[in-house]
A and B are shown apart, each in its own frame.
Chain A
């Protein structure tokens, strides 16, 4: 029951929307698509769902040409980032809708729907219309509708995107459990959140400009992004990428800060590189060998952390600081760069060495 894409591509005039997608999705696993907005995640999902025609390549499901099947015969379910439900039907009516063509008797269908509503925690809202529910509840309805049919393919397009932080955390937890009910399905989950990818994904596919640029086990990809682009995508906030140089046994950043070559970089040839640092690994304060003075551009609080965006002489730098702090634009701050945590990329952006755990 695998879904096989071979060199799939979509061209619209001169625009490449998808290009050279070759991948095989196996049932029972959750595939996470990561990529920036417009990287092709949604297009790929819509193509799989039959809502978008592809122009190149092939798509097979279970060995058979999938392209000949119209959307409504593909047994595909989809959850959108907007909360799409039938506004004129009740929660129960919404969840029943996909069962109407399943051949189940009315009573059976209703029992099944109520069970699913219970599972997404909406049993007391079965008679309400979507307009009377909160955003999170609406999305639960949408998820219930997607799950109830036991489709061969389950597509979730950033389902948590428009929810607030708390709900997101909560639903995220629920997902693992909910997805286990669909063992026979190929589940594809698009997100921009690394945390989500790590939590729900069995496989991670990183997309950029219509291509899959890296795939693998999420933790693996996270630790070893094969390029600056991937590193930027899978880290939230993105990595700070600074110019680096190895010469004569010294490792320098921005041609200014110098330190000894850290252990994981020993043995590399001299030359210019790029060094990437996760925001969580940069710290505020001036300690150690590599320190930098920067001017705060923006600072924002996310949960129990503070994100600080700084302009430094070396480049734009993002620092994540534990706790809640208040900075205003223009504040001067010292930051400390830990050279032993540098992801080293060559000048064309390919990974040379990752720091490892």
Chain B
């Protein structure tokens, strides 16, 4: 399994996520698309950290192999935070507009 395998999978995930974000008319579906994108990114981080040696390697330490994983953990945390806020917003919008279709929610003025 070379790096390319992972990258291909991740880019497919990414593209599908993008597609979802672009075409879905439902805020929650869009959120799911975003989750796909975030997952693809995390996968990339982990894969790269497994395959690519950093340019400035500190001698005697190989914990860089985990750098990508930790970034991915942070990514998951961010995704969680994002999901929470996103859903809260969706609820607020739903209350306000009675809809969560993004093309109906286009009033910019507060």
A binds B: no
